[in-house]
Amino acid sequence: MADSADKPTVALFIETSRAYGRDLCLGIADYSRSHGEWNFLIQERDLRGGIPEWLETWNGDGILCRLSDPELADLFAKASCPVVDLYGQIRHPDIPFLDTDASAVADIAARFFVNSAFTSFAFCGFPGLWFSDDRSAAFQKAVNRYGAEVHVYEPPVSWKVTDVARRESLHPTGSPELAKWIRSLPPRTAILACNDVRAQQLIKVAAAVGRGIPEDLAVMGVDDDQLICELSSPRLTSVRPDTRVLGYTAAHWLHQLMQGRTLPYHQLLVPPVQITERASTDTIASDDEILVKALRFIRDHAHESLDTSQVIDHVGSSRSSVDKRFRKALGRTVKSEIVRARLNRASILLRETEMSLEKVANACGFTTASHFLRIFKREFGVTPGEFRRGPVADAPSAIRQSIR
């Protein structure tokens, strides 16, 4: 093993106050372990950490950061060592960056809600914060594709606070304006929040104004911060970003730059891994008891040798009647819903485990691996193997398994 003095020294300007930042650091550690180990300089910090005094005299080999301060971005752009950003707010022309793909977050959330028969949608964020505005615009666009509109929370004043932590702390339990907005939402509205903190606030305010979750309002966050999600009541469903892969890939980029190589591209947006379902969205937004009964039966048994006749027998209605209900609410037949549920389970297993394709097929109710391959390619446009590798070829699938 190389002597510690021969190893690259890398400074991490990444907040460790949230799960997102900590998981980025774990992805960076994964890369370091598999490439000879690096020496890290890391301090406990949040996004408001500022510019440390030691930076003036520091003589390291590389910097991985989450840039939210334009002054710090300008300083890093002039640094004698390479820098990679993992935030994407500043997007300095001289600093490559990676971030979670807002459009992919919106798409997976909208699809989830539509598959639960929701027809009313809302978005609540921190207007004026860049990531919130990006996710709001993307969610509106995604929902529009389903022929629906989004109720977007607009505060009564234009907030000038652009620091995430300060904005989150202004009204930790909500505000009268937020309560008024929640009261105004139609029954059975599906709400996407800009992050888990905002979603937790929504749940608190909804309870205070008498809106039941999830039977009246379904709430989903983004970031899948386990501590926040588990301490919410009810427990919070959230979109899980691919943070370990983001961290690993950023470290790979930095390694390339430290070796004097040129990156093939300046930016990379990585889609989320999945939605972690918890109680805050555990509902089907329909008064049709037969539809609800059939959907729940499919979700509970699709991974088994389930066919349409079993669903029909379970709900006690005719096939034509049930198919008609499915087409009206979801735009597909019972058979198509069974396939969709199986593919959803398969996509999770592909990203989260190292199971062989044959075992994935068996665990998801497909009769043969070849049948699974054919259906998967038809629906996703890529093979299961290509899907498992994901958008970041430099990140091994073992990292995705480690974030379970």
- Condensed to tens digits (0 to 9), the pLDDT of residues 166-208 reads 666 556 667 888 999 999 999 999 999 999 999 999 999 999 9
Give the dihedral sign, CA 37/41/45/48. negative
Q: Do residues 216 and 149 both lie within one domain? A: yes
Q: Do residues 230 and 326 both lie within one domain? A: no
What are 51's two structure tokens?
A: 């510019």
Q: Do residues 220 and 298 both lie within one domain? A: no
CATH number of residue 11's parent domain: 3.40.50.2300
d(CA 111, CA 193): 15
Provide the pairing of β-strand 9-13 with 39-42. Answer: parallel
What are the residue ranges in the chain where pLDDT is below 50?
1-2, 393, 398, 400-404
Count how many domains the chain has.
3
Q: Do residues 133 and 154 both lie within one domain? A: yes
Q: Do residues 205 and 221 both lie within one domain? A: yes
Q: What is the pLDDT of residues 253-296, one digit of tens each?
A: 999 999 999 998 899 999 998 999 999 999 998 889 999 999 99
Please, are residues 254 and 60 in contact by the beta-carbon 8 Å criterion?
no
DSSP per residue, 29-76: HHHHHHTT--EEEE----TT----GGGGT---SEEEE----HHHHHHH
Q: Do residues 266 and 307 both lie within one domain? A: no
**Which residues span the domain enclosing 265?**
4-99+243-272
pLDDT score, position 24: 96
pTM of the model: 0.85
Q: What does the longest C-alpha to C-alpha distance in the chain come to?
A: 77
Q: Do residues 192 and 253 both lie within one domain? A: no
